[in-house]
Structure 1
């Protein structure tokens, strides 16, 4: 930590000493950050924007420009997730962890570490409670005073908003509400482990947002001692074998009122009377089926119940291991930390089940554990079709498993269109239960899934695709890069120079990632599809963007390209997708900052001459200017770009996945061009044109959705 940076703080607060608490938490994880960064970000997480003042230190006296940093701080304040965070009561470790997330991947200048630094820290702790920011600055040795430009480069300022966009509301809420309690303590190392799974690809985050809800429901039962207390007269008439009510998750078998009653009475997810803890170690082996026989809803349920079982058994003191079966048997892994979740979420077996070899492997495994674990318990999560055809031939395998285990329990997962009749193989398990994917929409804990149709659509996407790659190139050599989903502020603040009234600032949520072409469609790419070149600037080379194409022409190009590749994946971006990709996590007027820069984009040498000394007054070859941080070229200038939307007024409230008005007279154009003044090239600036309009400063680029990149 560089404590001499403290006077650079831009967030004015009456409790500056709090930053020392967050610094100590970060140091536990070996994270060493400039003190003013920790101070400013931490207080933005702790207090609402209305209760804070964000401004440069007084001793700057307008000699040092940090407006870009102030814009980043204001952008953070305006983020919906951050606004939600400040309404919570956060521990120092959680604030430290969120700060670490916001600066992830940023390399700050090397910070000094020394005994003298520790002594200075003790002095600073005293000074923070007795002196003002300016007084601390004046008392410092001038040779030790830090300057902001060293720590606030454009690369650093661009990265923080990107990291903010990668924070997810569901995971943050889970972290704040359940993180410290679930794992027994609030140590920042454990909290950073929770954050580690937030970096998983989008589909993994979607799974976790559903599955982790199973865990907190049962967290209190492990703290109980002795026999289980059953309210409401117990459960008479339930045998140790059956179809619905015998084993976990029995909560799923009751209506909402009964479910609430059971949760409030701290009932165990595991349906059996809890005995006194035993001194010897006990093994719990969770066996999860994943193969072509376990798809869609069934696969989601199996992995979710695996997570719930893991937590419940861990809280009871078991040594928990987990393996997958299908055609391949995975060696059991010990589940010790929340970061092991990724091992459960993402493993796939792309083949059909092979029960005989799987049973043989399981027998070998439990025998190997015999010396260390006198008590061995098996928990199977299986499809309704597990060993359906040849189970009678395998009875000796099941007998050996039962002989070598203390308990052998199974859950059979059925889909909507099947009956709840017990599979014949269930007779080989000491206890079993049948559950259906109906709980994905009926159970209270899954109520955030809006409809069965939406769930089935998600499952279908999961079945059809692997995790999206970062980039790909199609048959014509068009390069695409993955743009992350996220929440951003679309439009411009009222004080942005050259702003138009039609740029009303509002929050937009894009719930799915998408691929965007890294460049504007070139003349060469157009010719390969359309067999002509309508461009005015042909002599500059085929790698210049195609222009003199209308919105209707772009649609015809897309239609023919889709036909050539035998797909329907290509389309124009929505206006929201375009601005999200252009900004790449920034909140400034341009992706590089708030001031125009002729060296960064091809503009200003047509209607205006502001860049006549640097830019050619025509289109330039794509990739001639620096890309934004997401790898996209010419998002400012060169040629205007058609979007899919009709042009219309912005909403004044938060919206999700907007697609513009249903009808209109003009289509949206974005990005400005070589003829444009700087203000028309801003990230928020909106242009428009009639669908049939053509000119020598308008082109387009394409997008497509993940899962369609091949």
Structure 2
């Protein structure tokens, strides 16, 4: 349907929609064009003010495969550009730039990476930020296009009329700025880190949402350290992505059978128990020795929440930071695939706020981009953690499990670690410095721990092998193991793993 009559007099609608008369990318669906409305609004919040047509065209090149868009004029620019003869030349130059962007490897592969709108906004900000700063004529309208896909249906015949509803000096200045920044835009396109975009597509980049998530994404794309973490994560994630939720054993009459236990209802009684004589059967019932088929139950009923605590102090720079954050990302994805709730926290001299996973998406951008700048004070951090866990148990009945990724010289008073252990299970991955050794007096209080030495970190193959070994031991425990006591961890060692964990990995 065309733009409704009651919106034709609204410059906030006709202004941005009319700029599509200069558009050179025609989407195959109005729903695709509707995504550009969100991109345009997001760029405005980041301070990147551009005509809607530029955001629409370049965004679609990265968000949609070539099969769903056509590159070519949507209107007769010569007819539109009366009094603005330079627009015809600029429009032709604009089309050539779009074709060069579309031919790049980044634009060819990007549609396969499942990028969400926040990531597209950040990508456009990286490519077109310099263009926006060169525009010397501000827009004469404030864009506010309704979120309604029907507005974009059969819009092309109406574009010439919409174009003439306001002055278009802003659009002409933007095309001129893009022509002047052509080499910069093409260079930035070729320099896009596709591995980072691929990781975001696999794991998500959700955080606080909106502009805060976009700021984290920008920081991650601009950080050279993040690229090392991305490469390491992609190296070990394939062994994690095959993880599936494994139902626990219970007595509820739901799902299928998962094993045999000594608790259950009469409908789950193992039939061979009826072969006992009456007196023996009565004794077995009294002593709780009768066997029942155990039912599967959802892991949601186990009520656990996992906190991945990552050391962000100066001692964790370089390879240690890469290993710790890559392991945290892989561990979190493994737990999500097993149906667990996951949250990240960083610490240095203070304990930072919680960033939770949403659905099956991780706050990957925050994990890649976070920088700690407050020194180091483990005693204070873990005393605060113990206090928060104690207060939290009154609001959240789930059992907390703390996964610690840190330097081997994390000296915490033993009584503070004991206070944390009163309210949560605790496992740790310790990373040794060159020539260092693990000498901490609270290791026996941990449910499990692993040690990674400097030689292992220095070898790419050994580092990945050590990471996979830890992840293999970080498995889901059944309900029967959970009932065994706090030493039996979902993410600790395998059965008998306390001894194995103490032996370390690569140590």
CA distance in 1, matches of 2:310, 2:163: 64
CA contact (8 A) 2:407 2:431 kept: yes
Q: How big is the shift at 1:25?
A: 1.2
Q: What's the TM-score, normalizing by structure 2?
A: 0.57
Superposition RMSD in Å: 4.9
Residue 399 of structure 1 aligns with which residue? 418
Q: How big is the shift at 1:297?
A: 2.0
> What secondary structure does 1:287 align onto?
strand
CA contact (8 A) 2:205 2:363 kept: no
Residue 448 of structure 2 aligns with which residue? 431
Q: Which of 290, 299, 323 is the matching residue for 1:277?
A: 299
The yes-or-no answer on 1:126 pairing with 2:192 is no
Change in Cα spacing, 1:40 to 1:355, as seen in structure 2 (3 Å) is closer
Which structure 1 segments of 5+ residues have no match?
Answer: 229-273, 448-710
CA distance in 2, matches of 1:169, 1:382: 32
Within 5 Å, give how 1:250-269 maps onto structure 2: none
> What secondary structure does 2:394 align onto?
coil
Residue 318 of structure 1 aligns with which residue? 341
CA distance in 2, matches of 1:381, 1:93: 29
CA contact (8 A) 1:282 1:319 kept: no
> What secondary structure does 2:54 align onto?
helix
Q: How big is the shift at 1:289?
A: 3.0
Q: What's the TM-score, normalizing by structure 1?
A: 0.43
Q: Which of 359, 367, 371 is the matching residue for 2:390?
A: 367
Residue 10 of structure 2 aligns with which residue? none
Residue 330 of structure 2 aligns with which residue? 308
Residue 409 of structure 1 aligns with which residue? 427
Within 5 Å, give how 1:324-403 maps onto structure 2: 324-325=347-348, 328-336=349-357, 341-342=365-366, 345-349=369-373, 351=375, 354-374=377-397, 375-387=399-411, 394-403=413-422
CA distance in 1, matches of 2:170, 2:381: 61
Residue 34 of structure 2 aligns with which residue? 24
Which structure 2 segments of 5+ residues have no match?
Answer: 1-12, 45-49, 250-295, 466-507
CA contact (8 A) 1:410 1:429 kept: yes
Q: How big is the shift at 1:414?
A: 2.1
Within 5 Å, give how 1:612-691 maps onto structure 2: none
CA contact (8 A) 1:284 1:318 kept: yes
Q: How big is the shift at 1:433?
A: 0.9
Change in Cα spacing, 1:219 to 1:163, as seen in structure 2 (3 Å) is farther
Change in Cα spacing, 1:368 to 1:168, as seen in structure 2 (3 Å) is farther
Residue 198 of structure 1 aligns with which residue? 218
Change in Cα spacing, 1:41 to 1:444, as seen in structure 2 (3 Å) is farther
1:420-460 per-residue CA deviation (whole Å, 9 max, x = no partner) reads x786643231111112353564249979xxxxxxxxxxxxx
1:570-615 per-residue CA deviation (whole Å, 9 max, x = no partner) reads xxxxxxxxxxxxxxxxxxxxxxxxxxxxxxxxxxxxxxxxxxxxxx
1:539-572 per-residue CA deviation (whole Å, 9 max, x = no partner) reads xxxxxxxxxxxxxxxxxxxxxxxxxxxxxxxxxx
> What secondary structure does 1:320 align onto?
strand
CA contact (8 A) 2:305 2:400 kept: yes
Q: Determine which structure has greater relative contact order: mean sequence separation of CA pairs < 8 Å that are 6+ residues apart, divided by chain length.
A: 2
CA contact (8 A) 1:282 1:318 kept: yes
- Once the two structures are overlaid, the 10-residue window that deviates more, 336-345 or 356-365, is 336-345
1:2-54 per-residue CA deviation (whole Å, 9 max, x = no partner) reads 3223332345xxxx2437433311334635874543454256445779x9766
Change in Cα spacing, 1:209 to 1:111, as seen in structure 2 (3 Å) is farther
CA contact (8 A) 1:287 1:323 kept: yes
CA distance in 1, matches of 2:377, 2:233: 30
Change in Cα spacing, 1:7 to 1:157, as seen in structure 2 (3 Å) is same
CA distance in 1, matches of 2:452, 2:86: 65
Q: Which of 109, 115, 120 is the matching residue for 2:139?
A: 109
